[in-house]
Structure 1
Amino acid sequence: MWEGLDSGLITKPEETNPRNEKCPDMVSVNGPEFLNRSKVLVTVVATPHWAHAEKGDKTVMVTQFMMELQGLKAVEGEDPPRILHFNPRDRGDWSGRSVIEQNTCYRMQWGSALRCDGRESSDEEEDSVDGEVKCERWKRDDESKKTWWLKRLMGGRKKITHDWPYPFEEGKLFVLTLRAGMEGYHISVDGRHITSFPYRTGFVLEDATGLAVKGNIDLHSIYASSLPSRNPSFAPQKHLEMQSIWKAPALLPEKPVELFIGILSAGNHFAERMAVRKSWMQHKLVRSSKVVARFFVALHARKEVNVDLKKEADYFGDIVIVPYMDHYDLVVLKTVAICEYGVSTVAGKYIMKCDDDTFVRVDAVIQEAEKVKGGDSLYIGNINFYHKPLRTGKWAVTYEEWPEEYYPPYANGPGYILSYDIAKFIVDDFEQQRLRLFKMEDVSMGMWVEKFNETRPVAVVHSLRFCQFGCIEDYFTAHYQSPRQMICLWDKLQRLGKPQCCNMR
């Protein structure tokens, strides 16, 4: 090598100063390259507030904010789904550190949080998103030279890294960008990657029609691009697959059915109903009419929704439209309608009520009912015992509405089963105007079963496998499942032959 240098055959490359390099006049990429690149969704320019004393505890100083991609509100009185919840907490987190927490939320049920606290995530494949780590490293308040020397004495090696501070400093302007990649979201602050959050089953970008930024910040500018302008639930043609495979069996069976399932739904829940049709309503017991399932839907405030609803009902043959405007206080009448249909139209041995975001393991539900010795009246579900009415807040119940201290034992509304005789008792009392109605349909059912039990014994069976919140392994029913989670649950049930949840990616 030295001879080559002396002879001039090997020359030293000319030194270049990067600062003097000229930017190219243009950048060219082909179509596939452009499509594969992640796209910027949101740019936020803001300044975090200085910490202030928390209300109720003057010793705790707080400053934090949140940015959320939000979906369409599923139920009045509930917050909209959080497709992405991004929550930097400079001060005020329970850990006492500066953290960034990310999560998803559907029907007010939060998933497992991803918390970044200054420690770098592993760069292994399962811990990365599009090749980026989930959490970058930053300098933590609890790190010191003493800590480093202790690690060194114990044989640990010190990596040569730059000690970046926590990306959101009180009183300091920041520029945040949110990008969407193939596997998840990527967030950068002031040009440096901070965190990546993987997409989760049931939470997709096309549902994110809302953007919220709130908390302890002064917002200077915000720019959102590439976000959907219209939620899919407002475009039923995107979800209603008019194919005969999804239609209900043409004729109802002449003999009594084993199980009738009444599904509460709202007029504009086109995607939810389609997901039910394509998932557990494809069970062989439903396709053979040994089990019959029907949606019970009231009229919607928007006329165009009712027009689409009527077309849907005519085509699929699985919708019962009850003749009144939909309202929370009238949901109990849908439950009465389910009992009436189950008794008079199909004469079901068992009658089940569930919601359109409930996944039902049809065969498991029947097996659970058949465990009760033959001929006994039964009431099966996730039973609440000695539950007191809430007297304050959003779901408050007045003493005029419910004067007693406790509710009767009742099964949670997302899924419960009755025997035929209890359903007939409810229908008879309703027709003779003896049935007491209460705005909470699940409590009403508990009240009606208690009255029935005054003259005839009832086997009340409690099981946590009728899930009230989300999904557990070996479930009978899973609640708060988005349309995509419903399809995922059905796919797992078919492929694996056993129930597995689809809560996360």
Structure 2
Amino acid sequence: MKRTKSDVLATLSRQKSTRIQTLFIALGSILLIFEVLHMFKNGIHSVSQEILYSSSANGLLDSKLVMEILEGRESPIRPIDALFQPRKRVEIERLPKRLLSGLNFTAIPSPGSKNGILKSANDAVEQGRRLWGELEGSGGGVEGNVSEKVEKCPSSVLITGEEFGRDGGVAVLPCGLTLGSHVTVVGRPVAGQFLVELQGLRTVEGEDPPRILHLNPRLDGDFSGAPVIELNTCYRMQWGEAQRCEGWRSEADQPTVDGFVQCEQWISDGKNEFPFAKEKLFVLTIKAGLQGFHVNVDGKHVTSFPYHTGFAIEDATGLYLHKHVDVLAIVAASLPTSHPSFAPQKHLELSDKWKAPPIPNKPVELFIGILSAGNHFAERMAVRKSWMQHKLIRSSNVVARFFVAMDKKREVNEEVKKEAEFFGDIVIVPYKDTYDLVVLKTVAICEYGVRTVSARHIMKGDDDTFVRVDAVIEAATAIKDGRSLYVGNMNYFHEPLRSGKWTVTYEEWPEQVYPPYANGPGYIISSDIAKAILSDFEKHELRLFKMEDVSMGMWVEKFNKTRPVEYVHSHNFCQFGCIEHYITAHYQSPRQMICLWQKLKLQGEPLCCNVR
């Protein structure tokens, strides 16, 4: 049958309409595919952030879904469905990044003739202002990789005894050690015992360097009554488990180090052939093996010491010998020619999953301010990857930030600024960092906690302190609402040390005892105390003292005269390391931080990691 002209036109019209509909469907499918690909490219976390800011009736998703997202469980249907729900009122929003502390440093009064800390503070603030100005003037942001400056170092070092004496008994190994490096000391003992130590560089002024290897030959013996060689490590004044060699060969079932026994025998047939004797020349060599250090004396193997977790041989940048040795020469060879003595790229994992979650625009229960030194890149990264991953922090119910002052090295400051811009969890306090002025960071924590975060409770911690966030919340909220509180490991009737390394002069502290104070590695105050501290600081009425934790005790004592404060003491805010049922664990190395977090996640209990 022959079709009419009108039939042909109608057919063409229907075909055109069908092609247009097909085109729109195809375009819609492509857009949907791009949406899904974008989601998987940026990870479910990037989706969950957006979901958290849109929401259900109360401004948040139901708790079960939020927990699934925060804990990283797969939830392939509901989050995607939530993307297409109508947008509702935003309850949580990302506030603009604020790198610099809002603390008003003009509030530090001009120093009086008898107040040394005020003069130090003003000088440090002026230097910090200059250092920050240089940093801002140099430009530079987070674009590109972290600096990869390579420090060139000699492959060998020769130091005479005279040079060693002039250098204060420390031989510098600029780029540390590597596998196969060896250090030889030629000398003679002049007393009953002496020390040989491989030490790390000072990480911040006022802090002892870590002892990566502590070798202590005791020629006159100790409590055992016979000559002994003791080996150990020490990190921030915390000693590890000592290895003692007393003249007997290690048992067959004791682990070896690169095939060498840990202790050789020097007692035979009733004769004690100790490797060292007073005024007798010795040649001692320490070699870095695959599993540990090997010590030879006069060409014979004497002892081997396995590496301890948390200590790296490349950080052994100094050889220290006690003055009880007459050193003739020191030779170090097979040394690395480059080393990340300053190398944030080694420690920082620039991944979005470690970035700080948003600050809520409503009050939070707890703000945690963490004191950190500029070049503590590894410590900060370990905190980010451990207890800062707690669900209360990831959900913004608890906020945590690092507080870092200006380092004397410009390159450190440049990297800290990049780190702060990338992770969004660093507050820079613009004064030149010194141990005696850590107290200024504590005031900055109070300012940030009450003005930026609006927290009910404020906690101060250190970057080597592991924090059980839920336990801290429990300790803070155990006190009746409305009460002022001060929680931590309290010290009562402590007296200032009037001699030694930590001397406090009568000019600095004329009183006989300190007020009650909580140990610095971890304590909590209520926000009203923090507000009072900040108010006194800005009115030039806040007394500053070089010991940060004593300062807080002093400020709380003053507040207590106008409004009663509930002092809460707990040994579980552990000052000296880690204990069972800890709330905080101090002196934890970066590897221990990760270990503690894994134990807490996998076993659900606060168990310690006792090896470094």
- Smaller-chain TM-score range? 0.7 to 0.9
Contact 1:380/1:461 (8 A) holds in 2 = yes
In structure 2, do the counterparts of structure 1 residues 227 and 413 end up closer, same or farther at CA, with 3 Å as the change threshold?
farther
Q: TM-score, normalised by structure 2?
A: 0.67
Contact 2:247/2:272 (8 A) holds in 1 = no
Match in the other structure for 1:335: 442
What is the letter of the counterpart of residue 133 of structure 1?
A: V
Matched, 1:138 2:279: no
Residue 407 of structure 1 deviates from its aligned partner by 0.8
Matched, 1:93 2:225: no
What is the letter of the counterpart of residue 439 of structure 2?
A: V
Identical residues among aligned pairs (%): 69
| Higher fraction of helix | 2
Contact 1:78/1:108 (8 A) holds in 2 = no
CA-based RMSD: 2.3
Contact 2:229/2:245 (8 A) holds in 1 = yes
After superposition, residues 478-497 of structure 1 pair within 5 angstroms as 478-497=585-604
- Aligned counterpart for 1:206 among listed residues 314, 322, 342: 314
Match in the other structure for 1:58: none
Residue 297 of structure 1 deviates from its aligned partner by 1.2
Q: Distance in 2 between matches of 1:499 and 1:226?
A: 43
After superposition, residues 211-290 of structure 1 pair within 5 angstroms as 211-228=319-336, 232-249=340-357, 251-290=358-397
What is the letter of the counterpart of residue 319 of structure 2?
A: L
Residue 83 of structure 1 deviates from its aligned partner by 0.4
Q: Distance in 1 between matches of 2:181 and 2:373?
A: 35
Contact 2:309/2:591 (8 A) holds in 1 = yes
Q: With a CA cutoff of 8 Å and minimum separation of 6, indicate the structure with the bigger relative contact order.
A: 2
In structure 2, do the counterparts of structure 1 residues 170 and 304 end up closer, same or farther at CA, with 3 Å as the change threshold?
same
String of CA shifts for 1:160-203, please: whole Å, max 9, x gaps. Answer: xxx67112233433333323333322222233322221211111
Task: After the TM superposition, list the runs of 4 or more consecutive aligned residues in structure 1 that deviate by more than 4 angstroms.
Answer: 226-231
What is the letter of the counterpart of residue 370 of structure 2?
A: I
Tell me the SS of whatever aligns to 1:258.
strand
Q: Distance in 1 between matches of 2:272 and 2:252?
A: 18
Q: Distance in 2 between matches of 1:384 and 1:458?
A: 16
After superposition, residues 372-411 of structure 1 pair within 5 angstroms as 372-411=479-518
Match in the other structure for 2:298: 190
- Aligned counterpart for 1:108 among listed residues 222, 232, 237: 237
After superposition, residues 369-448 of structure 1 pair within 5 angstroms as 369-448=476-555
Match in the other structure for 1:54: none
Match in the other structure for 1:356: 463
Match in the other structure for 2:211: 82
What is the letter of the counterpart of residue 220 of structure 2?
A: R
In structure 2, do the counterparts of structure 1 residues 230 and 428 end up closer, same or farther at CA, with 3 Å as the change threshold?
farther
Question: Greater Rg, structure 1 or structure 2?
Answer: 2
Q: Distance in 2 between matches of 1:255 and 1:389?
A: 42
Match in the other structure for 2:188: 47
Tell me the SS of whatever aligns to 1:343.
helix
Contact 1:123/1:132 (8 A) holds in 2 = no
What is the letter of the counterpart of residue 42 of structure 1?
A: V
Q: Distance in 2 between matches of 1:288 and 1:279?
A: 15
What is the letter of the counterpart of residue 216 of structure 2?
A: N
In structure 2, do the counterparts of structure 1 residues 97 and 358 end up closer, same or farther at CA, with 3 Å as the change threshold?
same
In structure 2, do the counterparts of structure 1 residues 233 and 171 end up closer, same or farther at CA, with 3 Å as the change threshold?
closer
Match in the other structure for 1:300: 407
What is the letter of the counterpart of residue 183 of structure 2?
A: V
Unaligned runs of 5+ in 2: 1-177
Contact 1:208/1:228 (8 A) holds in 2 = no
What is the letter of the counterpart of residue 323 of structure 1?
A: P
Q: Distance in 2 between matches of 1:82 and 1:228?
A: 20
In structure 2, do the counterparts of structure 1 residues 460 and 443 end up closer, same or farther at CA, with 3 Å as the change threshold?
same
Residue 385 of structure 1 deviates from its aligned partner by 0.3
Q: Distance in 1 between matches of 2:185 and 2:443?
A: 50
Contact 1:134/1:195 (8 A) holds in 2 = yes
Q: Distance in 2 between matches of 1:339 and 1:290?
A: 18
Match in the other structure for 1:159: none
Q: TM-score, normalised by structure 1?
A: 0.81
In structure 2, do the counterparts of structure 1 residues 478 and 190 end up closer, same or farther at CA, with 3 Å as the change threshold?
same
Unaligned runs of 5+ in 1: 1-36, 50-61, 145-162
Residue 229 of structure 1 deviates from its aligned partner by 5.9
String of CA shifts for 1:223-253, please: whole Å, max 9, x gaps. Answer: 223445666351122222211111111x211
Match in the other structure for 2:251: 122
